[in-house]
Amino acid sequence: MEGKFLPICREDMESRGINQFDFVYVIGDAYVDHPSFGHAIISRLLEAHGYSVGIISQPDWRKKESISIYGSPRLAFLVSGGNMDSMVNHYSVSKRPREKDSFSPGGIMGKRPDYAAVVYGNLIRQTYKNTPILIGGVEASLRRLAHYDYWSNKVKRSILLDSGADILMYGMGERSVVELAEALDSGLKAEDITFVPGTVYKTRKKEDIYDAIFLPEFQRVKEDKTEYARSFYVQYTNTDPIRGKRLAEGYPHEIYVVQNPPAKPLTQEELDHVYDLHYRRTYHPSYEAQGGVPAISEVKFSLTSSRGCFGGCSFCALTFHQGRIIQSRSHESMIKEAEFLTKEPDFKGYIHDVGGPTANFRFPSCKKQLQFGTCSQKQCLFPKPCKNLKADHEDYLALLQKLRNLPGVKKVFIRSGIRYDYLLADPDKSFLRELCRHHISGQLKVAPEHISDKVLEKMGKPRAEVYHQFVREYEKMNENLGKKQYLVPYLMSSHPGSTLKEAVELAEFLRDLGLMPEQVQDFYPTPSTISTCMYYTGLDPRTMEPVYVAKNPHEKAMQRALIQYRDPRNYDLVKEALLKAGRSDLIGFDKHCLISPRKITSEYKKNKFYRNEGHKKAKEDMQAKKSKKRGAIRNIHKKRGT
């Protein structure tokens, strides 16, 4: 499972006797040779197929020579902005710069540019006019066609055009990159490779675009939000590798961006092969002096069980990137990796996670999917579980049992998200019992996201009653097991559909539970999600009905403050929100109230000061008495010589 790190500099290239790499891979992250990092999978897969790859990690985008350290590759440059969209990596939802980049050495921010894939692509094109450029990764995948960009508040063109690249790979990329490599190696020019599933290409020859749905032209979706919503939903309903159609989008000067249907999901044998490649499973040693790469700590002792998600949350981009068909690894592959982990010198006996986008999804939601694909306009779990859904945890339970019985393993945790509606749909309660007995430690994090059915409907999440049912069954199970374990709900404020009324409803829910969440996520409009489309257009693309959207920063602050209404710093915002929502009944001293009406007057402050001074004086007197007593005891021992 272990090999050498890939070359990262000219010296590495020369020491291996390589005159020219087949591919040069420019990445926005630090080089971490671990299968949780996309650049590691792609480069190791190409290596396994006989191609040489040189890594250029976080080049200085202000200097052309930073991407020319190896010269021109024989086949193509590969470009990825990193494991995250570079704008999400750089900025919070309030558009403030983040202080830390977990994917950079030492967590230092500023190692990559904004819109990294675009900047890297143009930097390469300025230096190498005729060398093919293939872009991929999350940033490229979710920006492959016209998209709303939250940070500039504009509809942007396909990243394929803005980056100067020849071909874009979307989705996970394993099939696409190998097929592209073979096509380039056979002598085909990049502009002639228009047939690879999971890729996007550009052309001026409209007559050569066959069997395609033509989306509204870019200029129309840029100027008309209704056209944007309609175009987006056509894209959303064509993300399935079996049902999905070819899509074409027109641009000025008779340029067309064409998205081929998605690549087929990997078989279990193919996915096992991907995770069995020769990874070093850590960051390159050159980063050690800078403190390493923080992101490795989250995944070093975790196991990826599956990919894909049929949960269908509106605010999640997984449908566009990994797809809705679950692909899972075999037990043998997982056990082999786990045994490797137990031999790591810093392994303490704890496997931190066994999961994926959703931990308890291990196979497609129904038998029809592998033959007919996922339903284009229906969800597997929303608004309630489909009658064809197969909810079964037997395989996952068997895997977990094998892992926790391995020599050297003390505990196997599940930290990936659990879909509690899927858990409840399983008539066998064995998974809930085993989860509570073996795989959590004190608390389980779940994501109801909200408690208002109106908002949950826009989120694509189950009704509030489903969460209440799960809470009851979770508490009952822990009681039966004699355990005191708690639920920690993840909640989201300001999602489209949420007014102050719904935010107050959520605050009342927290009041009744006696909770004050430490973590609250404001809705973040990232590219290629239904929720982002709603945020930008004010329309639900599934129905084309209007949706309320909180965009004013002050209103968003009030919605967030209501979730954390117990925090004294939020008092003024909470009071204002309650008054605006017509809920002054929640301001008072009764137990159902969220805040009191008390104003902090100067007299109150004065009395509070004297009370505090009195407590301080009493505390000092007590400490003086204790000190005097200890001195007396020391004197006694001194006289006795003890």
Rg of the chain over Cα atoms, rounded to whole angstroms, equals 28
482 lies in the same domain as 574? yes
Range of the domain at 506: 474-598
Structure tokens at 523: 């809705």
489 lies in the same domain as 638? no
* CB burial readout 306-329, b (16+ within 10 A) else e: bbbbbbbbbbbbbbbbbbbbbbbb
Nearest-10 Cα torsion for 171, 173, 179, 183: 90
Where does residue 153 fall: left (phi above 0), alpha (psi -120 to 50 degrees), or beta otherwise?
left
Q: Which amino acid is at 123?
A: L
Among the candidates 160, 179, 200, a domain finishes at: 200
| Residue 126's CATH number | 3.40.50.280
Structure tokens at 196: 């690879």
**Beta-carbon count within 10 A of 272 CB:** 18
**Tens-digit pLDDT profile for residues 436-485:** 999 998 899 999 999 999 999 999 999 999 999 999 999 999 999 999 99
Number of domains in the chain: 3
pLDDT at 517: 81
576 lies in the same domain as 637? no
Asked if pLDDT for residue 588 goes beyond 50, the answer is yes
**Tens-digit pLDDT profile for residues 508-550:** 999 998 888 877 899 999 999 999 999 999 999 999 999 999 9
- What is the Cα–Cα distance from 534 to 572, expressed in whole angstroms? 30
DSSP letters of 343-359?
Answer: TSTT--SEE-EEESSST
Residue 299 lies in a domain: no
618 lies in the same domain as 583? no
485 lies in the same domain as 632? no
**Tens-digit pLDDT profile for residues 198-224:** 999 999 999 999 999 999 999 999 999
* Mean pLDDT, the chain, integer: 93
**Tens-digit pLDDT profile for residues 374-388:** 998 899 999 999 999
Residue 127 lies in a domain: yes
**Tens-digit pLDDT profile for residues 105-117:** 999 999 999 999 9
Split at pLDDT 50, 70, 90, the class of 638 is: low
- What is the Cα–Cα distance from 564 to 403, expressed in whole angstroms? 39
**CB contact set of 502 (below 8 Å; sequence gap of 6+):** 450, 452, 454, 455
**Tens-digit pLDDT profile for residues 60-91:** 999 999 999 999 999 999 999 999 999 999 99
588 lies in the same domain as 620? no
pLDDT at 610: 43
Residue 91 lies in a domain: yes
Among the candidates 182, 200, 218, a domain finishes at: 200
Spatial contact of 135 and 160, defined as CB atoms under 8 Å apart: yes
Q: Is the pTM of this model over 0.75?
A: yes
624 lies in the same domain as 583? no
**Tens-digit pLDDT profile for residues 273-322:** 999 999 999 999 999 999 999 999 999 999 999 999 999 999 999 999 99
61 lies in the same domain as 149? yes
508 lies in the same domain as 620? no
Please give the share of the chain, as a percent, with pLDDT higher than 70: 93
Spatial contact of 310 and 361, defined as CB atoms under 8 Å apart: yes
Residue 282 lies in a domain: no
Question: What average pLDDT score do residues 250-261 get?
Answer: 97
- What is the Cα–Cα distance from 473 to 467, expressed in whole angstroms? 10
Asked if pLDDT for residue 598 goes beyond 90, the answer is no
**Beta-carbon count within 10 A of 222 CB:** 17
Tokens 């050159």, residue located: 286
- What is the Cα–Cα distance from 473 to 421, expressed in whole angstroms? 12
Please give the share of the chain, as a percent, with pLDDT higher than 90: 89
